[in-house]
Structure 1
């Protein structure tokens, strides 16, 4: 079982150019959002290299959530700004991404979890995010599939929701093509040459591109790309599995994207059925084969907060990757040791929902101009001191 494919009628480049101003490694949501944002800001000579098909790595396979509901202020800023971009995406790009603003509902089952959600609410409200702490009874009114018995409270953010990820990739890809971006699919990066501590060229299975700048947007494969130039990018690929329940007559009631904070068990509407899952413990690997090992863990929590969802019958599903960093936060910036090497990766499951703002931030770094936030918090250099890392709480 696989994620939804990105079906595009694009004219891919038959010939790899010999020269480029910048090569972007990775044709997923982050690579395409970055390519478009650079081109939209006047950068020319952009080449995107994708080892398979656009969005085939993880970008067509996530949960689809878009939110500003985080604990860390930097994540809140990226989420809020990206959510605003998704609200106008259909008008801006001419592609319906099926934005459903049903809200996000993080559910607590202990007093400690509820206190954590209260701290999250305070941080979000200080940054202008519409959210509120609600009772178990209020949570059930928003989501009738829930049972209040084991719920101590929840946080609800009404402006959040979910989109169709493959449509976001499609929108950016079409717009990139209109702006003259060269897109190479089925192209593997074999080496990145560095001369005098500066990017010199990129060699692929098609030949060599001479370019003074490279942007790593390679998701789960980013650590290998970083190693080619001597830049440490601590990204670990971890499989995540998603299930789809069969349609029911009349469909389920429209519900928020609902997550149990303690277990990360989640579910939301998906057609006439539901998209369901949980962050099942996995060893780091590049395996994304679908299996059912996670269903028992999902059901154990479902029995407590949404009994009707326990032991779900699944009609489909797929496996994808989280590109995790040690603190579950992204890396966005420019290498301090290799001139011309940039990175936008390690989003730890938040790539789709942070892509528009993250691409804007990297574009500002690339162009050497002031941005909407201090980019230093996203630097890969922070991993030199693991004891000072700030862990994101609201993760799935």
Structure 2
């Protein structure tokens, strides 16, 4: 077949002919867009796709991601009938086994989450597992999971079938053409330069796989991924292995198996990976493998022989060592790059490209056409990373760990250990000296808790109460009854200013931010569907100058989203000033007494009401004091210039000694906010959840003079009786001992109707407390909640829980406004 002629222009140019690029092309044409050109420097699937193992497991940790994979399985099962090209898709099911009690607990949690997400699953005995997979020995197996909807596919065949589907829809697929540059004009992509000519383009999609990072660098876009070696072997025939054999996963051994021509494909994800090509991926690395490395593979092979002893008698037909790209957090990269308009990325699939490609290709195509994601995709949104995450030395060290996360034990609150410490607040050394145990968020080192004197400052992971339970209880109690200080400097801070700043922000924010100077407004940023793109606090510092304080992980995302929604001709500017300001939250009923010793400012309710901000003196420093709370107590968030942070902290600790002040961390903060039922973005507040469903309609100003994004959708939702079939509800366990972590299934009258989105131990309430997303068959009214018999499935054990539509702690919200 002759190569298609290179067009001079196209609406959409996709760079990269692996399975993801072909899926994007396929879905764009399915949406009615035929002016699509896909460019592949070698042949389709020649980079990473061709040597992928082809496993397709449905369940992911987040429902939104599970939905994308489930769509993949539906697509793969129908594609051959549509295109006439085989895909090798086989719904053979999968068995996952546990060697330890902890892993079995994890599988029981997985089963509950699967049922809540509508994925068919069955907890099985070791004998059941062996019945489904006769070639394995199960003497050391505690049990397992059977997921009949999982399957496998032939990656190359699947890619060719998607490409043919794209061609049938009018797309041009051109192989043997190399992109040498990305053209830009006025902050937007304008085309690509190839070794065979230039193509003007309205949209360029970077699906370059291992080369995606280099393609991004051509136009100033950060694509943080790094290649690592990924190995598997194909054996000769093994007795008891048939074509219908399910996929087998043995995560405690870091290994997986699937059938291939009567033998086994056996591979895995070793705990410490081997990064590759620090100096760049060779351009002509097509259909190539790296040298065998039996030393690196040894840990996988040893575990495989434990699981399938017969492998010792089977010959090895082929050793595959094919590099793949991995990201800093083991989730792929999707979406429009914040640095360049109309330049989209679909890359970094972490050995999950075959399973993810169908759903990810559709999601990216929808994002391209609609101009925004059509569902909650923040887990894979490229805007969750910043430019510093593209540092090659940092990526190299982090990817050593993230490859192994596939089968590492997903402990609750598990922290990554590599490439740290990374970003440090001005107080890092002082907090470390006080036995702080740090976690990481957006690279920031943040104190999770403070270990008691004499204790080793480290987390001992478990699915029950962890070793920090009592230390956090003390921090929690001290905040409720006395005064604590939290270093929340990782908060992102954005300055918005210019003569149109107020008008522009008021259209972007759901609340009315046209308030007097010195007032503070909590608000959501909503999409056109009425769902949350973010929630943040707006401080009006001057008539046309506002400081926005948002979550640590949201700086790039929120700045990009706000800029994209400014009117093109508006006189308004946004600047990220996160690094210039620290945030010290001083919280608790004695907080005013401590601050009064350091300032001449009048901190009384009359002079300094709740939800206001003032510039005050504090010791030698001049700071912004914002009277807000995320813990449900009297307190101030002190926004402090970085150069004054240490002095302010030392002054506060001295002044607070007589009041019993102590440091507190993010674990205590989580328990405190959940007792109050305060929602958090990315957990309870997502692009698919509206303020009505979240119980936050009261912070939306439907009557403000200006329109706002999402208003029309919310007005429609108000009159839709089905809208409140989904709702965020607070549940408190009736029994005081169990520990909830999030992700557990919620049942009402014995039927799964939702999942726990956030959970912590509520030390004031004496029980675990959770915020849950319920998806019920009927409208979730007050009567529905009161009449329900709620339970939470904790690793197969159901615990009764009481539902609350108002916080059981200080339901009238009086404590933050006391005038002590």
Same fold, judged at TM 0.5 (above): yes
**Structure-2 change in CA distance of 1:263 and 1:249 (3 Å):** closer
**For the residues of structure 1 that align with 2:372 and 2:342, how far apart are their CA atoms?**
18
Helix, strand or coil for the counterpart of 1:99?
A: coil
Aligned counterpart in structure 2 of residue 49 of structure 1, from 22, 30, 39: 39
Deviates more, 1:112-121 or 1:188-197: 112-121
Contact 2:243 2:261 in 1 (8 A): no
CA displacement, residues 196-245 of structure 1 (integer Å, 9 cap, x when unaligned): 11012211111211112110111111111111222211111112122211
Separation in structure 1 between the aligned mates of residue 331 and residue 117 of structure 2, nearest angstrom:
19
Partner of residue 36, structure 1: 26
Is the 8 Å Cα contact of residues 99 and 141 (structure 2) preserved in structure 1?
A: yes
The residue correspondences of 1:142-161 to structure 2 (distance < 5 A) are: 142-161=132-151
Inter-partner Cα distance in structure 2 for 1:310 and 1:302: 9
1:169–1:336 Cα change, 3 Å: same
Aligned match for 1:282, one of 243, 262, 274: 274
Offset from partner CA, 1:279-315 (integer Å, 9 cap, x none) = 2432233483241515532331123322222475211
The two structures, once aligned, show a CA RMSD in angstroms of 2.4
In the TM superposition, residue 362 of structure 1 has moved relative to its aligned partner by 0.8
Give the one of 180, 198, 218 matched to 1:228.
218
- 1:262 equivalent to 2:252? Answer yes
Q: Relative to 1, partners in 2 of residues 1:306 and 1:100: Cα closer, same or farther, differing over 3 Å?
A: same
Is the CA contact (8 Å cut-off) linking 1:241 and 1:290 kept in structure 2?
no
**2:377 alignment counterpart:** 375
Which residue is equivalent to 1:340? 342
How big is each residue's C-alpha offset from its partner over 1:353-382, in whole Å with a ceiling of 9 and x where there is no partner?
A: 111111111111111178663233321121
Equivalent in the alignment of 2:363:
361
Are the aligned partners of 2:181 and 2:192 in contact in 1 as well (CA < 8 Å)? yes
| Greater Cα radius of gyration, structure 1 or 2 | 2
Give yes or no for the alignment of 1:247 onto 2:237.
Answer: yes
Do structure 1's residue 104 and structure 2's residue 94 form an aligned pair?
Answer: yes
Partner residue of 1:5? none
Cα separation, 2, equivalents of 1:278 and 1:31: 25
The normalised TM-score by structure 1 is 0.89
Local SS of the residue matching 2:258: strand
Deviates more, 1:276-285 or 1:261-270: 276-285
Q: 1:76, CA displacement in angstroms?
A: 1.6
Higher RCO (C-alpha 8 Å, min separation 6): 1
Q: Alpha-carbon deviation of 1:83?
A: 1.0
* Kept in 2: contact 1:299–1:310 (CA 8 A): no
SS at match of 2:384: helix
Q: Cα gap change, 1:100/1:185 in structure 2, threshold over 3 Å: closer, same or farther? A: same
Return structure 1 stretches of 4+ with deviation > 4 angstroms. 248-253, 369-372, 391-396
1:298 equivalenced with 2:296 (yes/no): no
Q: Is residue 83 of structure 2 the alignment partner of residue 93 of structure 1?
A: yes
User: What TM-score, normalized by structure 2, do the two folds share?
Assistant: 0.44
Q: d(CA) in 2 for partners of 1:67 and 1:303?
A: 23
What are the superposed Cα offsets for residues 162-209 of structure 1, whole Å, 9 maximum, x if unpaired? 111111111112222222212221111111022211012211111211
> Which of these residues, 104, 119, 122, is aligned with residue 114 of structure 1?
104
Verify: 1:176 aligned to 2:154, yes or no: no
Q: What's 2:3 paired with?
A: 12
Work out the CA distance in 2 between the residues paired with 1:220 and 1:164: 20
Using the TM superposition, give the Cα deviation of residue 132 of structure 1 relative to its aligned residue in structure 2, in angstroms: 2.2
Paired residues, number: 382
Distance 2:315 2:40 in 1: 35
Asked if 1:219 corresponds to 2:221, the answer is no
Structure with the largest fraction of strand: 2
- Kept in 1, the 8 Å contact 2:335–2:345? The answer is yes
